Amino acid sequence: MRVPRDGGPRRRALLAAAAALPAAALLPGCSGGGGRRGKDGRSVLRFQSLAWQKESVDANRQLVAEWNRLHPDIPVQYVQGAWPTVHDQLLTSFEGGEAPDIIHDASDDLADFAYGGYLADLTGLLPRRLKDDIPARSWESGTFGGRVYGVPFLQEPRVLIADGVKLRRSGVRVPTAGEPWTWEEFGAVAKELSGGGGYGVAWPLKEPVSVTLNLALSTGGRIFRRRPDGRAEVRFDAAGQVVPRTIHDQVNVVCSAARTTLGMGGADTLPGFFAGRYAILPLGFSYRQQIAQQAPKDFEWTVLPAPRGAAGAVQGVSPQTLSISADCPRKEEAMAFVDFLLRPPNMVRLALGDWMLPTGREALKAPELREDRYGWATGTALADTLRAAPAQSVRGYPEWKDKIATPGFQEYYSGAIGLDELRRRLVHDGNLVLARYQR
């Protein structure tokens, strides 16, 4: 008998049935039940946290457990998310109607979700205590189109982490939160600390845009301005150019800043800092945790305020926020949980866990946040200088940042293009991008 090469209909049907059987057997009854009910049938609120450091995860879990013990009728489930993936994950969850009820994110990620109608307007839900405890300048960062979509609760100023021994030996004036260096003074100090194979400063500028924009507030530079009709436009005037020019000159003219760190992230520069290659690192306040953990035991480091400019010592920040999903069926209860989580003692626990500053006035008074150890006192003293990052409510900012500003600043800082070309790109090309979002 010869096996036919070309199977007949019966053979094909047999093969198809054989192939379909396992799938058919697997599917029925396998649904995991994506509902929002606990094992006892009670409705559960899902809280997606982005805490990632051990102390912070512990603090969040403990607070959720405390809430559940005190409020058995409103159980909250702790769900861990991750910073690198939160935007994509939330976007698909919103689209599919499966978003967490209480959402932890950063204020600069909220604009699209807020304008897209995915987040609940919290204006009428906010308890008076919480509203009064957080300053208006912080509320700005969670407010879009006049409505509050995120409660800002943790914020991270940019500070200068300095090698204590080099600083002392150089004899330069050590700045305080009340009297920071000016940008000119900072330039001179960086030059003073350079030499002997080391650099005065290392700018980790893998993501140069938010650093530049936030620090530029100190010189009165607002790269984004609102026109009378409410539309945003990019301007890159003299005040906005001070910080970029300082960095550019440190790298390319005075050579007091290391060129190699321009493409690095903050953590990448730490080994060079510990080895004495750089005297000062401009970093986010929370990097202290990494430094405390990784620095050699005899390494002396200190936390200094960022330089001030013509507008004072102000700088922009994008605080971490808590939002409530528009689809959440129990918004009042979700807000009650947010209020619980952000009571002053709890906000302090969260801030200590994340090595950041709380936004709440009461929490900022906590003695733990006013210790000199690890520069807590310096950071806390900066809280009044923090403002909402200038760009975060601008629609089209992410595209402007990725396509125009990031390559523009990278090329400028490396010396590949001059200030005029940078200005042309940021303003001319940038406004074309923004115009598409503001028709």
Kindly list the residues in this chain that would bind other proteins in the complex (CB under 8 A).
1-3, 5-7, 11-12, 15-16, 18-19, 22-23, 26-27, 30-34, 46, 50, 52-54, 57, 77-80, 82-85, 88-89, 92-93, 95-98, 100, 106, 206-207, 265-267, 270-272, 274-275, 277, 284, 286-287, 290, 293-297
Of 60 and 138, which has the nearer Cβ to other proteins? 60
- As measured in angstroms, the least distance from the Cβ of 261 to other proteins is 12
Cα 419 from chain centre: 28
- As measured in angstroms, the least distance from the Cβ of 227 to other proteins is 32
Q: Which DSSP string do the residues of 361-426 spell out, in sequence order?
A: HHHHT-GGGG-SGGGHHHHHHTGGGEEE-TTTT-TTHHHIIIIIIHHHHHHHHHTSS-HHHHHIII
Of 177 and 341, which has the nearer Cβ to other proteins? 341
Q: How far apart are CA 100 and CA 45, in angstroms?
A: 8
Q: How far apart are CA 383 and CA 351, in angstroms?
A: 13
Of 80 and 438, which has the nearer Cβ to other proteins? 80
Helix or strand or coil: residue 194? coil
- Comparing C-alpha atoms, which of 217, 152, 92 is closest to residue 361? 152
Of 236 and 287, which has the nearer Cβ to other proteins? 287
Q: How far apart are CA 350 and CA 346, in angstroms?
A: 6
- Comparing C-alpha atoms, which of 22, 151, 51 is closest to residue 351? 51
Of 19 and 70, which has the nearer Cβ to other proteins? 19
Please report, as a single letter, which amino acid is at residue 393: S
| Alpha carbon distances (Å) from 315 to 12, 321, 359, 388 | 70, 18, 15, 8
Q: How far apart are CA 79 and CA 430, in angstroms?
A: 38
- As measured in angstroms, the least distance from the Cβ of 297 to other proteins is 7
Of 6 and 73, which has the nearer Cβ to other proteins? 6
Of 127 and 265, which has the nearer Cβ to other proteins? 265
- As measured in angstroms, the least distance from the Cβ of 13 to other proteins is 11
User: Residue 327 in contact with residue 95, Cβ under 8 Å?
Assistant: no
Of 98 and 300, which has the nearer Cβ to other proteins? 98
Q: How far apart are CA 414 and CA 401, in angstroms?
A: 18
Helix or strand or coil: residue 317? strand
- As measured in angstroms, the least distance from the Cβ of 176 to other proteins is 27
- As measured in angstroms, the least distance from the Cβ of 77 to other proteins is 8
- As measured in angstroms, the least distance from the Cβ of 124 to other proteins is 28
- As measured in angstroms, the least distance from the Cβ of 240 to other proteins is 23
